[in-house]
Amino acid sequence: MDERRSDLKKIIMDTKTLPTLPGVINKLNSLSNDDKSSVQEMARIVSADQVLSARILRLANSPSYGFYRVSTISNAMILLGVNVVKSLALSSSIFEIMEKNSVGLWEHSLGTATAAGIIARKLALPEVEEITTAGLLHDIGKVIIGLKCAEQMPLIRNKIKLDDLYISDAERAVLDTDHAEVGGWLSKSWFLPDKLSEPIACHHNVACSEDHRVKTSVVHLADVLIKASGFGDSGDSYVPPIQQLAWDQLKLDEALLQEIVVELEDKLVEVKNFSLELASAAVA
Amino acid sequence: MQKIPLNLATAEMVLARDIFKNDSPTGMPICGKGTELSDSLISRLQQMGVQSLYVEGHPVWQEGDRGLTEQLADLEKRFSKTMDNRYNTTLLEVYRTHFTAAMGDDGGRTEE
Ligand SMILES: [Fe+2]
Ligand SMILES: [Fe+2]
Beta strand pairing call for B29-31 and B52-55: unpaired
- Alpha-carbon distances, residue A64 vs A60, A105, A111, A136, A268 (angstroms): 8, 14, 9, 13, 8
Neighbours of B29 (CB within 10 A): 11
From start to end of chain B, where are the E strands?
Answer: 2-5, 19-20, 29-31, 52-55
Neighbours of A248 (CB within 10 A): 12
- How far is ligand 1, taken at its centre, from the CA of residue A140, in Å? 8
DSSP state of B4: E
Residues of chain B with CATH 3.90.105.10: 2-55
Residues B33 and B13: their CA atoms lie apart, in Å, by: 11
Average pLDDT value over all residues in chain A: 79
Q: Quick check: B108 pLDDT over 60? A: no
Q: Mean pLDDT, to the nearest integer, of A186-194?
A: 77
Neighbours of A199 (CB within 10 A): 33
Q: Which of B8, B74, B85 sits opposite A280 (nearest CB)?
A: B8
Establish if A277 touches chain B: CB-CB under 8 angstroms. yes
Secondary-structure class of domain A3-20+94-283 per CATH: mainly alpha
* SS3 (DSSP) at A18: coil
| Chain centroid to CA A271 | 16
Report yes or no: A188 and A194 within 8 Å, Cβ to Cβ.
no
Bigger pLDDT: A99 vs B45 = B45
- How far is ligand 1, taken at its centre, from the CA of residue A139, in Å? 5
Average pLDDT value over all residues in chain B: 85
Identity (one letter) of the amino acid at A238? Y
Percentages helix, strand, coil for chain B, rounded to the nearest 5? Answer: 40, 15, 45
Residue spans of the domains in chain A: they are: 3-20+94-283
Q: Mean pLDDT, to the nearest integer, of A201-212?
A: 97
Residues of B in contact with A230 (CB under 8 A): 74-75, 78
Bigger pLDDT: B100 vs A190 = B100
- CATH code of the domain occupying B2-55: 3.90.105.10
A84-88, A124-128, B91-95 — which is least confidently predicted?
A: A84-88
C-alpha torsion sign, points B3, B14, B65, B44 = negative
Max mean pLDDT among A122-131, A146-155, A255-264 falls in A255-264
Apex CA A61: angle with CA B102 and CA A84, to 5°?
Answer: 85
Establish if A239 touches chain B: CB-CB under 8 angstroms. yes
Kindly report, residue by residue over A238-282, the tens digit of the pLDDT. 999 999 999 999 999 999 999 999 999 888 876 554 433 433 443
* SS3 (DSSP) at B2: strand
Report yes or no: A219 and B69 within 8 Å, Cβ to Cβ.
no
Residues of A in contact with B87 (CB under 8 A): 241-242, 244, 247, 252
- Alpha-carbon distances, residue B93 vs A50, A220, A255, B82, B88 (angstroms): 47, 19, 11, 13, 9
The pLDDT, as a whole number, for residue A251 is 97
- Alpha-carbon distances, residue A149 vs A25, A156, A174 (angstroms): 27, 10, 10
CB neighbour list of residue A106: distance below 8 Å, 6 or more residues apart: A95, A98, A99, A232
